[in-house]
Structure 1
Amino acid sequence: MAKFLKALTLLAAVMLPAQTGASFVDNCTTFDSNLWSKADWAQGLGSVQSANVNPSGGGVLNFEIPAGTHNGGEIRSKAQYSFGQVAANFKVPNLPGIISSIFMYQGTSTSDEIDIEVYLNKGKWEIAFTIYRLGVKEWVHPYYPTWDPSAGYNDYMIDYQESAISFYINGALEAQFHTPSQQPIHPMNIQLNAWYPEWLNGPLAASTEFFQVNQISYTQS
Structure 2
Amino acid sequence: MMKKVLLFIISITVLCFTGCHSNNENLVIKSFHHPNGVYFCREKVNSEINILNPMKNEKEVWVEFKIKDNLGNLIDSSIQKEMIPSGKEENVVIDWTIPVDFKSGSYKTDLIAWDQSPENSDAKKIAESVDKEGILVFETQDNFDELDGNVWLVSEGNLGRSELKSENVTLNNGLLSIEMPQNTLNGGEIYSKELKDYGAFETRMKLPDAPSSITGFFLYKAPDYFYEIDIELYNQPDGTLMFTTYSDGEKKNVYVGNLGFDPTNDFHDYRIEYKENQVAFYVDNIFVKSWSDGFPKEGMYLMINCWYPKWLDGEKPKENQYLLVDWVRF
- TM-score (normalizing by structure 1): 0.83
Displacement after TM superposition at 1:206 (Å) = 1.3
RMSD: 1.5
Counterpart of 1:74 (choices 178, 189, 197) is 189
Instruction: Give the 3 Å change call, closer, same or farther, for CA 178–109 of structure 1 in structure 2.
Output: closer
Within 5 Å, give how 1:161-200 maps onto structure 2.
Answer: 161-179=275-293, 182-200=294-312
Partner AA of 1:98 in structure 2: S
Secondary structure in 2 matching 1:81 = coil
Say which structure is richer in helix.
Answer: 1
CA contact (8 A) 2:159 2:307 kept: yes
CA offsets per residue over residues 146-173 of structure 1, 9 Å max, x none?
2100110000000001121100000000
| Aligned counterparts of 2:224 and 2:264: Cα–Cα separation in 1 | 33
| Deviation for aligned residue 1:107 | 2.1
Bigger relative contact order (CA 8 A; separation at least 6): 1
Residue 44 of structure 1 and its aligned partner are, at CA, apart by 1.3
Name the amino acid aligned to 2:242: A
Give the drift of 1:88.
0.5
Deviation at 1:32, TM superposition (A): 1.2
Runs of 4+ in structure 1 displaced over 3 angstroms? none
SS in 1 for 2:229: strand
1:23 to partner: Cα distance: 3.3
Shift of 1:192: 0.2
Higher Rg of the two aligned structures: 2
Question: Which residue of the partner structure matches residue 215 of structure 1?
Answer: 327
Q: Which moved more, 1:186-195 or 1:43-52?
A: 43-52
Instruction: Specify the SS of the correspondent of 2:263.
Output: coil
Judged with a 3 Å threshold, the aligned counterparts in structure 2 of structure 1 residues 149 and 109 are, in CA distance, closer, same or farther, namely closer
Structure 1 letter corresponding to 2:282:
Y
Using structure 2 for the length normalisation, give the TM-score: 0.56
Paired residue total: 193
- Cα distance in 2 for partners of 1:127, 1:207 equals 23
Would you say the 8 A contact 1:166–1:173 is kept in 2? yes
Per-residue CA deviations over 1:107-164 (Å, capped at 9, x if unaligned) read 224531000000047x743110101113311000111122100110000000001121
Q: Which residue of 2 aligns with 1:11?
A: none
**Structure 2 equivalent of residue 40 of structure 1:** 156
Q: Distance in 2 between matches of 1:135 and 1:211?
A: 30
Instruction: For structure 1, list consecutive stretches of 5 or more residues without a partner in the other structure.
Output: 1-21
What letter matches 1:53 in structure 2? V
* 8 Å CA contact 1:95, 1:205 repeated in 2: yes
Structure 1: distance between partners of 2:240 and 2:259: 7
Deviations 1:165-221 (A, max 9, x none): 100000000111112xx2212200000000000111131111101011010111xxx
Q: String of CA shifts for 1:47-75, please: whole Å, max 9, x gaps.
A: 1111100000x210000011100001000
Identity of aligned residues (%): 31
Partner residue of 1:93 out of 202, 208, 218: 208
The letter for the 2-side match of 1:134 is: D
| Equivalent position SS for 1:51 | helix
Which residue does 1:24 correspond to in 2?
140
Structure 2 gap ranges (5+): 1-137
